[in-house]
């Protein structure tokens, strides 16, 4: 079973694209950020431990994050693979991922890097709104909901993530450059990294990713 990793700076569109790819390929979309937000909503111990890091725009410690993702990958719906989004974010996490995949007889097929100019990233994050119930993603300008402040899919309220405030966004971009950019190098060295232009309409970017992966695109 093959896994894919979607990489790129925060706000580049990883969540949106990873969800679409998961649907297209019939495998789960596994987002470490969504897993953390679920823990926050449920007020679990792990959620409480992670909260202050998330609100400051910092990374949650590797140990906690790796254990959470390992548990998710072991669930039965991942037997045919999955699309990882937001994980790995450090070289230690990338190494742990290699181990946990081989433990389950799986491998990492490709890491896809979505690229986007920094001013477009900031614009995307400031307009992003997320549904409270299931994390469906909207944008005030590029993908507004039919009714203001309400999710089209499940009718729950939309909110702005606390870590999408400008100050925290800047911090997240610095963390990305310092800690996550080395993971790109790690995958480039293993010859599994592909770069895909993340600008433009959602559907076009999905097509670009599918082509880069050598998958057939349904027209």
Residues acting as catalytic residues: 14, 89, 128, 161, 172
- CA 27 – CA 14 distance, rounded (Å): 16
Q: Which residues pair with 130 in a beta bridge?
A: 137, 159
* Binding status of residue 164 toward ligand AMP by CB under 6 A: no
For residue 81, what is the enclosing H or E element? Answer: strand 81-85
Judged by CB under 6 A, the stretch of 49-57, 94-102, 188-196, 209-217 that binds ligand AMP is: 49-57
Q: Which of 17, 21, 36, 94 binds ligand AMP (CB under 6 A)?
A: 36
* Binding status of residue 113 toward ligand AMP by CB under 6 A: no
Q: Which is nearer to ligand AMP, 53 or 127 (CB)?
A: 53
CA–chain centroid gap for 149, Å, is: 23
* Binding status of residue 33 toward ligand AMP by CB under 6 A: yes
Residues 70-89 that bind ligand AMP (CB under 6 A): 86-87, 89
* Binding status of residue 53 toward ligand AMP by CB under 6 A: yes
Burial profile 97-132: b = 16 or more Cβ within 10 angstroms, e = fewer = beebbeeeebebebbbbbebeeeebbbbbbbbbbbe
Query: Nearest-CB residue to ligand AMP?
Result: 33
Query: Where along the sequence are the contacts to ligand AMP (CB under 6 A)?
Result: 10, 32-33, 36, 53-54, 57-60, 65, 86-87, 89, 93, 163, 172
């Amino acid at each position: 079973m093959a896994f894919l990793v979607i990489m790129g700076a925060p706000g580049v569109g990883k969540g949106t694209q990873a969800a679409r790819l998961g649907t297209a390929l019939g495998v789960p979309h596994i987002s470490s950020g969504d897993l953390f937000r679920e823990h926050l909503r449920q007020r679990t111990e792990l959620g409480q431990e992670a909260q202050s890091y998330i609100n400051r725009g910092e990374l949650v410690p590797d140990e906690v994050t790796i254990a959470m993702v390992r548990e998710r990958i072991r669930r039965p719906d991942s037997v045919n693979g999955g699309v990882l989004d937001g994980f790995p974010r450090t070289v230690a996490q990338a190494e742990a991922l290699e181990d946990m995949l081989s433990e389950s007889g799986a491998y990492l097929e490709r890491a896809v890097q979505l690229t986007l100019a920094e001013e477009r990233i900031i614009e995307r994050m400031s307009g992003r709104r997320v549904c409270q119930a299931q994390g469906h993603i909207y944008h005030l300008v590029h993908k507004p909901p039919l009714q203001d402040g309400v999710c089209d899919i499940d009718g729950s309220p939309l909110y702005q993530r606390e870590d999408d405030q400008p100050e925290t966004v800047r911090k997240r971009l610095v963390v990305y450059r310092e800690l996550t950019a080395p993971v790109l190098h790690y995958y480039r060295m293993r010859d599994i990294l592909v770069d895909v232009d993340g600008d433009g309409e959602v559907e076009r970017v999905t097509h670009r990713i599918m082509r880069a992966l050598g998958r057939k695109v349904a027209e």
